[in-house]
A and B are shown apart, each in its own frame.
Chain A
Amino acid sequence: GAGVSQSPSNKVTEKGKDVELRCDPISGHTALYWYRQSLGQGLEFLIYFQGNSAPDKSGLPSDRFSAERTGGSVSTLTIQRTQQEDSAVYLCASSLADRGHGYTFGSGTRLTVV
Chain B
Amino acid sequence: QKEVEQDPGPLSVPEGAIVSLNCTYSNSAFQYFMWYRQYSRKGPELLMYTYSSGNKEDGRFTAQVDKSSKYISLFIRDSQPSDSATYLCAMSSTGSARQLTFGSGTQLTVLP
Contact = CB atoms under 8 A, between A and B. Distances in A.
A56 B98 contact: yes
A67 interface: no
Contacts of A106: 43
Interface residues of B, number: 26
- How would you classify the secondary structure of chain A's contact residues: helix, strand, loop or mixed? loop
Interface residues of A, number: 28
A58 B98 CA distance: 9
Interface stretch (B14-22, B64-72, B73-81, B99-107): B99-107
A1 to B, nearest CB: 14
A110 B40 CA distance: 12
Interface string B86-111: 00101010011111111111000000
Interface of B: 4, 6, 8, 32, 34, 41-46, 49, 88, 90, 92, 95-105
